[in-house]
Amino acid sequence: MTIHAFANGHIVTPGGVLPAASLDVEGGIIVALDPQIRGDAIDLDGGWIMPGFVDVQVNGGGGVLFNDAPDVDGIAAIGAAHRRYGTTAFLPTLISETPAIIGRALDAVDDAIAAGVPGVVGIHVEGPCINPARKGIHDPRRFRPLDDALLDLLTRPRRGKVMVTLAPEIVPSDRIAALVAAGVIVSLGHSDATLDEAQAGFAAGASGVTHLFNAMSPLLHRAPGLVGAALDNQAVWCGIIADGFHVDPAVLRVALRSRPHDRLMLISDAMPSVGAAEKDFLLGDVPIHVEGGRCLGPDGTLAGCDIDMAAALRGAVSMMQLSPQDASTMASANPAALLGLLAERGALAASLRADWVQLSADLQPVATTVGGDRAEPEPFFAPAPAAHVA
């Protein structure tokens, strides 16, 4: 057994924030958490120990786009890039692809989990059953209905979690129900749905909303759409991008006040630029320019994000006026709950995985511990800039 002790800081636990603590770890699992210091302690100097971040939408990182590298090596590279910033569990995310690439990606995630690639807990298939009117940066040439062949592909038994983003006005409710019955986590997004269509999607079993407000019709007082359905439904989990570009800070605060804290979660929606020396990249045949924290297509369309989860947490604290511990819940426990993984991760407590992130007093990443193994970021990979405050 190994004891990890911390002093002079803030350790976020389900029972509150402790100024010091010792975590006993054996076999990659926390076996005890003691508010007393035992052994040599790391001086946090006012910093934080938080549960490792759980990111359900990671398109890429470290110069790798999952669409381009749907294999074990690609997944490992993406995970390593984000682990430097505190992410200890993630879903590599495929941006609207062909069935052949979707199949390769699903198999690759199975292989990565079997090989013990750190952090990978499943896959997020974003599209291709989405609305062209709300395509964002997705390639409409890839869009298709959820036919029998694609349904069969998505519902085959897998080693990890399978999450699918779809538009409820494109996919019939009985098909949504079939995905859910097979254990697929359905999230609604890239949608022009009416209120009734969105509510029908939730009634069929959809339990999430992908990047709330983005790539969906806006909330209107006589046409609430998916945004209105999501804010009115207190049970579904809503992912949100807190970079200051995708959603105005005032709207972030409105969303927070409309939902229980345990149903709003931070996502990175990260692109290959996170943790990469060369920021610009190609999305298919579309050049994406990264500048000032934004990923932009040639026409100015936002193309995912150039932030990591630590930057998203800082954005939530600064723009949503949250305490760091509440922002931590949105970055760890809430996404773990959506994925059905609270029994193994998402908090610092006995019987859960020994996954945590050490942050400085100003919430910059210092080190990440996975399964009790601590690793400090390589100097080359500087943390992402603080979120833009509009």
For position 17, which CATH number holds?
Answer: 2.30.40.10
What are the start-end ranges of the E strands in 27-63?
Answer: 29-34, 41-43, 48-51, 53-58, 60-61
Does the structure show a pLDDT above 60 at 232? yes
Which of 382 and 310 is assigned the larger pLDDT?
A: 310
User: What is the rounded CA–CA span in Å between residue 140 and residue 194?
Assistant: 21
Does the structure show a pLDDT above 80 at 386? no
List residues with catalytic annotation.
269
What is the mean pLDDT of the segment spanning 236-265?
95
One domain for residues 45 and 126: no
Residue 215 known to bind ligand:
yes
Q: What pLDDT score was predicted for residue 159?
A: 97
Q: What pLDDT score was predicted for residue 385?
A: 46
Is the CB of residue 263 less than 8 Å from the CB of residue 234? yes
- Whole-number mean pLDDT of the chain? 95
Strands 208-209 and 237-240: parallel
Q: What pLDDT score was predicted for residue 380?
A: 40
One domain for residues 227 and 369: no
Residue 253 known to bind ligand:
no
Residue 309 lies in a domain: yes
Residue 311 lies in a domain: yes
For position 292, which CATH number holds?
Answer: 3.20.20.140
Does the structure show a pLDDT above 60 at 382? no
For the chain, the domain total comes to 2
Residue 160 known to bind ligand:
no
Residue 316 lies in a domain: yes
Confidence band, pLDDT 50/70/90 cuts, at residue 378: low
Give per-residue pLDDT as tens, 57-70: 999 999 999 999 99
One domain for residues 140 and 57: yes
What is the mean pLDDT of the segment spanning 199-204?
98
Residue 159 known to bind ligand:
no
One domain for residues 353 and 249: no
Residue 59 known to bind ligand:
no
133 Cβ partners below 8 Å, 6+ apart?
Answer: 192
* CB neighbour class for 320 (10 Å; exposed up to 12, middle 13-18, buried from 19): buried
Confidence band, pLDDT 50/70/90 cuts, at residue 12: very high
Residue 90 lies in a domain: yes
Does the structure show a pLDDT above 90 at 292? no
Residue 302 known to bind ligand:
yes
What is the mean pLDDT of the segment spanning 281-309?
94
One domain for residues 87 and 114: yes
As a whole-number percent, the residues of the chain with pLDDT over 90 amount to 94
Q: What pLDDT score was predicted for residue 381?
A: 46
Residue 303 known to bind ligand:
yes
One domain for residues 217 and 246: yes
Does the structure show a pLDDT above 70 at 383? no
Confidence band, pLDDT 50/70/90 cuts, at residue 389: very low
What is the mean pLDDT of the segment spanning 138-142?
96
What is the mean pLDDT of the segment spanning 295-318?
96
What is the mean pLDDT of the segment spanning 290-302?
93
pTM reported for the whole predicted model: 0.96
Residue 385 lies in a domain: no
One domain for residues 131 and 194: yes
What is the mean pLDDT of the segment spanning 287-293?
93
Residue 24's domain comprises 2-49+349-375
Give per-residue pLDDT as tens, 145-173: 999 999 999 999 999 999 999 999 999 99
Does the structure show a pLDDT above 60 at 341? yes
Q: What pLDDT score was predicted for residue 259?
A: 86
Residue 387 lies in a domain: no
User: What is the rounded CA–CA span in Å between residue 204 and residue 198?
Assistant: 10
User: What is the rounded CA–CA span in Å between residue 14 and residue 99?
Assistant: 41
One domain for residues 216 and 309: yes
Q: What pLDDT score was predicted for residue 168?
A: 98
Confidence band, pLDDT 50/70/90 cuts, at residue 293: confident
User: What is the rounded CA–CA span in Å between residue 29 and residue 371?
Assistant: 7
One domain for residues 103 and 44: no
Residue 39 lies in a domain: yes
Does the structure show a pLDDT above 60 at 217? yes
SS3 320: coil
One domain for residues 166 and 224: yes
Residue 382 lies in a domain: no
One domain for residues 23 and 107: no
What is the mean pLDDT of the segment spanning 287-314?
95
Does the structure show a pLDDT above 70 at 187? yes
Does the structure show a pLDDT above 80 at 220? yes
Q: What pLDDT score was predicted for residue 56?
A: 98
One domain for residues 240 and 354: no
What is the mean pLDDT of the segment spanning 85-106?
98
